[in-house]
Amino acid sequence: MKSLCVLATSALVVWAAPSWAQQPAPVSTNLESGGLRPPEAVDGTQPAPPEAGAPSTEKELERADKEDSGRGLEWVWLNAEIGSQHLGLQTFKGDRLVDSQLVKTTQTGLVYGAGAGLRILVFTVGARFRLASFSEWQLWTLGLEGGFHIPIGKLEPYFTVGAGYASLGSFSSSAPASSQADVKGFNARVGAGLDYYLSNTFSLGANLSGDVLFLSRSKVADAAASTSGNEAAVYAEDESSIGAGATLTAVVGLHF
């Protein structure tokens, strides 16, 4: 009987062996004897910290300005100009601001002036004075001016706008009532120019500008007593006008 059991067991092993060989391999898991498998190593590389002493915003602005123009930052500007102005007192409106039979209302004359102000990067703001002398009268203006500049190495084109007070006087002595007239008002101006920097602080250039003048005059109190005819009629009433002019000047500048 014992021999029969051994024989049966052997036959069963021989019969089941092919089935065991076809069983799939055990699935690999993170479980290992005694616990979980250690996780994969993490890349410990960290971004480098910023360099010590990184340049401030002001230094960056200064460096950028030097790269653009080669001159560094500018804070204060001064300039003087001289040239020619062509001006009409009654270009758009008015024919009785002055007696046109005695005083020429459109003339060309010498103009000179000066300006000063502050600059922040490519923007400027300041004040400008101009005096224009003509054969029969003078005009002076004083006002505020703003500008936009485009640095291109040593060259610097720019554009300006401005407005201010205007006064007309010093009329020809051949027109008595005109010499007593008080003509004043305000002007508006646009301009464009080009500067060439000979150094960081000194420049030469040219400027072209156009003005619109809004002028008014009160009547001359004793016009009838001092004059007669057409002149007395002109200055016996309040009058106003809108004139215009163009100015071309050479400019010398200082920059700090």
The C-alpha atoms of residue 236 and residue 227 are separated, in whole angstroms, by: 10
**Top-confidence residue, 100 or 116:** 116
The C-alpha atoms of residue 249 and residue 116 are separated, in whole angstroms, by: 16
pLDDT in tens, 141-173: 999 999 999 999 999 999 999 999 999 987 776
Whether 126 maps to a domain, the answer reads yes
Mapped onto helix, strand or coil, the DSSP state of residue 158 is: strand
The CATH number of whichever domain residue 229 belongs to comes to 2.40.160.20
The DSSP bridge partners found for residue 123 are: 120, 148
Whether 180 maps to a domain, the answer reads yes
Whether 35 maps to a domain, the answer reads no
- pLDDT above 90 covers a percentage of the chain that reads 51
Whether 223 maps to a domain, the answer reads yes
Q: What is the pLDDT of residue 109?
A: 97
Helix H or strand E segment including 107 = strand 106-120
Identify the CA nearest to 213 among candidates 247, 177, 249, 179: 247
Whether 38 maps to a domain, the answer reads no
Structural domain count of the chain: 1
Secondary-structure breakdown of the chain: helix, strand, coil percentages, each rounded to the nearest 5: 20, 50, 30
Domain of 178 in residue numbering reads as 58-255
- Token digits for 111? 């103009």
What's the rounded mean pLDDT across residues 84-96?
91
- pLDDT over threshold 50, residue 209: yes
pTM: 0.71
Whether 147 maps to a domain, the answer reads yes
